[in-house]
Structure 1
Amino acid sequence: MEYKDLLKSYIDKSTLSLSEIEKKMRDKGFSTNKAYISKLQNGVHPPAGEDITRALAEVTGGDVDALLLAGYIEKAPDEIKSILTEATNTGQLFAFFALLISYVEKYRSSGVIDEELLQKIEVTNEVFANEYKYRLSTSFLKDFPEYAVELIVRLKQHFIPLTESISYRGVKINFADYVSKENKPIFKENPYPEIKEAAEAVSLEKLKDEQPAIAIPYEEELDSATQQKIIFFESLESDLELDLTDPEIQKKLKRAAKIIFSSED
């Protein structure tokens, strides 16, 4: 359903007049007038920004995430709009999130990797690569299941960055347990033990020559340049199909991690 139609349905179900909605919006700190709201529900004006959209849904008792998603799809570039609409309407996007969440939650509860779920994730990843030209780097998943949370964040940021949940056929997935308000992964354990070990080694080496400082563990926030290096490295590792259980590969991975976390390019 388009943004205007969804908003109109919320307004109709609320039984509030546009004047009443305008007053409630002002109570929330928005100067949104009834003429503007009318234009939004009639499609005369493009979807409002995130804050106003969220407030309108709350005031009218509608689904905040559904209205945000509808607005995001409508304002997205044409090539993204068609992909996002199809993936959302067919439930494929919902299914991908559900698989990643099920995989990490089963591991958290049992400590055992679900090979069947892992295979389904790989198949779905191929579907997204072929149909939507978007591929996740899943090579860490088998050895580090907690890495699924990182993939949940990346999938959300690419397709639905403004929404806090996704629904399909009456079932809803909330991202609050996996994605922070700053759009960072919420890990229960570190999915990068090898990289963290190398990073800490580099930090200790630097402490010998520099003024005393507190070494920052990997889990804490990294600068954008470092994040981009990590993402590039993971994608390259996936493309080359490296075997992370191979000791020689692990040695190379540690050396690469030192480069990633060094101050040099």
Structure 2
Amino acid sequence: MKYNELLRSYIKKSGLTLDKISELIPEYNQTASKQYLSKLQNGRTPPASEELNRVLAKITGGDANELIKAAYIVKAPANVKDSIYAGDVLKKLNAQILSDGIGHGGNNPILLEELIKLAEKKDFETAFKKTKMYSDLFLVIGFIVGYLDRCANNHTGNDTQFDSIYNYLVKIDEEHGLGLEITLTPDKPKCALQIISILKEKVFPTINTFEFGGTVFNFADYLNTDGSPKFDILISEKSDDSDTNRKTEVNNQVEALDDDLKKKMHFFESLELDLGLDLTDPDVQKKLKRAAKIIFSEED
């Protein structure tokens, strides 16, 4: 977060007006007018001195070290800024990787290593893009696994939901140029297994298991050693109580994920229709990101 954004967030959280902060500052042997504080939080003047930043953090309840660091980055030479920025991005990337489940429990060290190498090369855009791609694909596979479990236990799979996740996968494929070439067939359960097989071959050739949404998925449960689908798992078998409970728990988790996904898909589909945009267009995505940053950084 930039210096002015950090300072503005501290002031907002404190609930204090600029007038009140200006009145309190002299108690710490510093001075700053309301007008100067306004310029500081809106990025219209260089950051304050270290002494004043400590006072501002003290009054607003913010972190003095973070505010001083943010001020230093603004004033630092270009090469120093790059080094600091790279370190911060690596931390953010690592946090996102862990939150998305890619590195959780050390189950996916190969993917983790790939993303960290990209970040170390300062290719942050690709690193974040791939992190999102892996997260989205884990979600797709999680939904498919729940769908197959329901089909295998004499439950009617929701074909409408499956069509939605298929369409979502197509968008991921187009956005990242994965070349999956997946065709939707009338036999939805077999199509679901084929999707897992294709993803394993083209995206996750070195990954055997992964954890997402609190559940560990093993490709070997759905694919043969040669990577072909295990179509025999679609044949219903009697399950004991523990197995039934496990599948019910997985289904509940996947349905919760699917509800969240449907809301997101509905929002983006509405956005495309309302604005006449193609959200798979990289140029459109960049413009929307810039617009969002401008909107959410504006002063309330």
TM-score, shorter chain, exceeding 0.5:
no
User: Greater helix share, 1 or 2?
Assistant: 2
Work out which of the two has the higher radius of gyration on C-alpha atoms and give 1 or 2.
Answer: 2
